[in-house]
Chain A
Amino acid sequence: QQQVKQSPQSLIVQKGGISIINCAYENTAFDYFPWYQQFPGKGPALLIAIRPDVSEKKEGRFTISFNKSAKQFSLHIMDSQPGDSATYFCAASMEEYGGATNKLIFGTGTLLAVQP
């Protein structure tokens, strides 16, 4: 119940195309769903996040679509660029430990390659 399933494992997209990465969860207590971007040799960095009270959030070329009933959420990267080539992780967390900490459960990651 603590798992977050992510697909695909890897993705190749042409420059200017749309990249779509999907995640699914089981625990309905999860209330925070971030996407992290990781470049080789670097730590993950927050890209965009959503709470389950909205179905979509957009920041620039990045959009999260959230389907609460299906317990699924996805990341869409519009007009994909070679600089977007990185590993993307979805994650989920819920309020616990009295808010003293935030335990992120990560998906298995998607390696995105955007070809010029």
Chain B
Amino acid sequence: ETGVTQTPRHLVMGMTNKKSLKCEQHLGHNAMYWYKQSAKKPLELMFVYSLEERVENNSVPSRFSPECPNSSHLFLHLHTLQPEDSALYLCASSQDLEDRGLYNEQFFGPGTRLTVL
């Protein structure tokens, strides 16, 4: 596997379910990100991790819980979601949080299409 992978690619869950999204990067990067993309809206940054430490939480509801056990893996645990949480969830990684040389280029995974019923 190369680049950034995400599983599952599609997920349908009820509002009372608990599920987890997984992201893995094979690039040796130190920073990882979770984004949410709703239809016709900009990508919304949810969480940022640098060297396994959460450095940013963009006012995300507690029903979304991230976990970064090591610099290659990032999880998003989902619990009691709402239908409006249905969206494409994208994971990304970058070399470092502030990599001036690469203009903060982030590499994205293919995303998980989440539907909450």
- State yes or no: do A and B come from one complex: no
B residues neighboring A (CB under 8 Å): none
A residues neighboring B (CB under 8 Å): none
